[in-house]
Structure 1
Amino acid sequence: MVGTGHRENLNALTAREAGLVGCRHCTRVWPADTEVCARCGGRLESRDRTSLQRVWAWGLVGLLFYIPANLYPMLLTSTVGRASESTIVGGSIELAQHGAYGVAFIVFFASVMIPVGKFVAIGYLAIAVRKPHGIKPKRLLHLFEVVEWIGRWSMIDVFVVAILVALVQFNLLATINPGIAAVCFALSVVFTMLSALSFDSRRIWDEIETLADEGIHDR
């Protein structure tokens, strides 16, 4: 018999079971045998077969850029002829030492905790949908929605660097320039966003169909 935790999910009717396919670009629904969306011209597929490959590819590239983003300096500061370099973590610690605990937490949260959390969440989703997992599809869908929503805040560190570089340019007195880590971090965010966008969330609901089939066979 099927586990009681999934009974409420077995009553759900997916678009594929109803003979329909949705366009991932404009969300218009068409009959399953339609190949091209007449509204936006997008290709129609019940499931994106190359989705997980692109998820892993973009995610790994993003991870490769995230490593130097934390090792190399994010800011190059020059004050009265004295130069200093600040990494992401080092800058957060320096802000905390100067009493700016709130700003230090925001920088650390947006630059370390959010990116790492996105890598873990995307990898978890990509692994979970490969086979029946026993997790409620709604939980996975909510996790995917959180990853998509939180992605817009990943560029906070880059925005702070851009603002500081634009405002602090006083020639010999004080200047701030972006370090190589700023470029690496921006690229890491972009590739991570591409990884999340490549994930076909419709595969989450395949668990319902699998459990329904198992329930029929067990009876």
Structure 2
Amino acid sequence: MPFKATAMKAGLMSCHDCGKLLKTRETVKNEVLTCPRCNAEIHFRKPHSLTRVWALIITSILLFIPANLLPIMRVNFLGTMESSTIMDGIVYFFHEDEYFIGLIIFTASVLVPTFKIIGMIIILLSIHFKWKRGLRHKIAMFRFIEFIGRWSMLDIFVIALMSTLVSFGGFTSTIAAPAVTYFSAVVVCTMSAALTFDSRLLWDAN
């Protein structure tokens, strides 16, 4: 069922900072409107939202490749250095029958970033091609993407914890490897994409 009534069509806009709903008025060229409550600039929609989100998502895809291919952790045991990727760590936990830990890391490090990237691409394509079906489901998916974004850093937290705790008399040490930087950048980009995206654009495309 199409939804045609929007606040913009009714002449209303909301402040992105404080959420105050404002009645629009005629403006002159290049005039900047400000919120009477918080004095922030106000717009019907976040400026250049789609362009910025596309840039962040494409960057996330490019960074996600080395994040999974390069080693994310190095363990030095009695002078022998061993490197492992994200998948190496997941396979290790499954081999050790630590299915719960392996599943958590697999979900947080692989499934969640992949879901966020694919989900945002679907939403962006829906706006570009003006797909009118399933708008409620896409909004629900976007809200879920916003919610789970913070859990993507779980793998980094595990490495930081191991680096602090795994030290047996100086015989063993754990250090972060290059993939940590790429993976952290993926998380930042996907979270920034969710914050930059203006979900009201879905209804505008209807």
Verify: 1:173 aligned to 2:171, yes or no.
yes
Aligned match for 2:51, one of 38, 50, 53: 53
Partner deviation per Cα, 1:88-117 (whole Å, 9 max, x = no partner)? 001100111111011111111110111011
Match of 1:30 in 2: 22
Deviations 1:113-149 (A, max 9, x none): 1101111001111110124312132222111101101
- Greater fraction helix: 1
Q: How does 1:98-109 map to 2 (within 5 A)?
A: 98-109=96-107
Aligned residues: 200
Q: What aligned pairs does 1:51-200 form with structure 2 within 5 A after superposition?
A: 51-170=49-168, 172-200=170-198
Instruction: Tell me which amino acid in the other structure corresponds to 2:9.
Output: E
Give structure 1 stretches of 5+ with no counterpart. Answer: 211-219
Question: Match for residue 216 of structure 1?
Answer: none
Give distance in 1, aligned partners of 2:39 and 2:176.
41
Please give the residue correspondences for 1:204-215 in structure 2 after superposition, counting only pairs within 5 Å.
204-207=202-205, 210=206
Taking the aligned partners of 2:79 and 2:129, their CA distance within structure 1 comes to 60
Q: For structure 2, which runs of at least 5 residues remain unmatched after alignment?
A: 26-31
Structure 2 CA distance for aligned equivalents of residues 108 and 177 of structure 1: 20
| TM-score (norm: length of structure 1) | 0.85
Aligned partner letter, 2:201 = R
What amino acid does structure 1 have at the position aligned with 2:68? N
Normalised TM-score (structure 2) = 0.91
CA distance in 2, matches of 1:68, 1:119: 16
CA contact (8 A) 1:79 1:172 kept: no
The one-letter amino acid paired with 1:112 is V
State percent identity of aligned pairs.
33
Query: Quick one: structure 1 residues 156 and 198, their matched pair in 2 at CA, closer, same or farther if it must change by over 3 Å?
Result: same
CA RMSD in angstroms, aligned pairs only: 1.6
Comparing 32-41 with 92-101, greater Cα deviation is found at: 32-41
Question: What amino acid is the match of 1:44?
Answer: I
Distance 1:31 1:20 in 2: 5
Identify the range of structure 1 (41-50 vs 191-200) with the bigger mean alpha-carbon deviation: 41-50
- How far apart are 1:63 and its partner, in Å? 1.8
Aligned equivalent of 2:6, options 7, 14, 18: 14
Cα distance in structure 1, aligned partners of 2:129 and 2:13: 22
Query: 3-state DSSP class of the match of 2:38?
Result: coil
